[in-house]
Amino acid sequence: MPLENDPAEPRPLSPALEEVSQRLVSARLGARALDSFPGQLPASLEDAYSVQSASMARWPDRVAGWKVGGVPTDLREVLGAARLSGPIYRASLAHTAVGEQHTMAIFEGGFAAVEAEFIFCLDEAFPPDGRVYGDDDLIERITLHVGAEIASSPMADINRIGPVCVVCDFGNNGGLLVGPAIPQWHTLAEEELSARVHVDGVLAGAATVTDVEGGLLAPLRFLLALCTARGLTLEAGTFVSCGALTGIHEVTVDSHAKVQFGGVGAFDVTFEARQPMPDSAASAEH
């Protein structure tokens, strides 16, 4: 049965795209790497989101959040979008405090990366009613956290294949690590909303909040519009990961990452091979 965050009436899929959904879900549930995209690549982002919705209905967990990522600039006109999104599930959501180390699961043999991200937590529900919120209206309804998205997919070439592939495979999300909240974040100076990521002791990337295209509220506005189009309610308590601030930093099970946010502090991330979920074969068929 569809989960509470799924569209009430998912768009019907062709048999070929239904098979894509089944095979992607099966690979994820079984923690198996894929050599290539499993079947016919959808012709559009709209079709890719339909595959994503079908996969969400098959997934044996509840949606805890959404990741927002960017579409490469050279593909935006063709695809008609500058951003994309995918679901984050409760089992892959974790919390960390400053100074702590947390281990996150990735697809061994697939793609894996760590990304420093600002993460909104919605303090109230946002129904798919098309309402346009001003900045102050949004700020009153959200809390900002620091954290890290773990991007991971059974397909090692997911980003090379492109955004349509990314959307099909849950937005290339493997997990979300939510750190401390930032009180009065909208009043802080730029340097207090900055991030640096080291991977295996080497600086992998650094940036400030001004590097978020369109401003920090832009990813949330995109998600609200997308969820309205898909008929999805964003429930209170939903996390929204706003995009790779310092870049996409590839990792393996042997990697160690330090994610540091100016004015907040740092936490450490290590990685382990993702394990199959119980009854994964049966779940993928539903």
Q: What is the pLDDT of residues 224-262, one digit of tens each?
A: 999 999 999 999 999 999 999 999 999 999 999 999 999
Q: How many residues does the chain have?
A: 286
Give the pLDDT confidence score for residue 9 in this predicted structure: 56
Give the tens place of pLDDT for each residue, 123-163.
999 999 999 999 999 999 999 999 999 999 999 999 999 99
Give the pLDDT confidence score for residue 28 in this predicted structure: 98
β pairing state of 202-208 and 239-241: unpaired
User: For residue 67, what pLDDT band results from cuts at 50, 70 and 90?
Assistant: very high
Give the pLDDT confidence score for residue 192 in this predicted structure: 86
HSE-CB of 141 using CA atoms within 13 angstroms: 18
What the block records as the tokens of 104 is: 């996150």
CA distance 116 to 128: 28
What the block records as the tokens of 174 is: 């493997």
Tell me which residue of 51, 55, 48, 93 sits closest to 71, measured CA to CA: 48
CA distance 218 to 133: 11
Task: Tell how far CA 8 is from the center of its chain.
Answer: 22
Query: Phi first, then psi: what are they for 146, rounded to 5°?
Result: -95, 165
Give the amino acid at 240: V
Q: Is 239 helix (H, G, I), strand (E, B) or coil?
A: strand
Give the pLDDT confidence score for residue 172 in this predicted structure: 98
CA distance 46 to 65: 20
What the block records as the tokens of 277 is: 């979920």
pTM equals: 0.94
Give the pLDDT confidence score for residue 191 in this predicted structure: 82
Q: Is the pLDDT score of 7 beyond 90?
A: no
Give the pLDDT confidence score for residue 56 in this predicted structure: 97
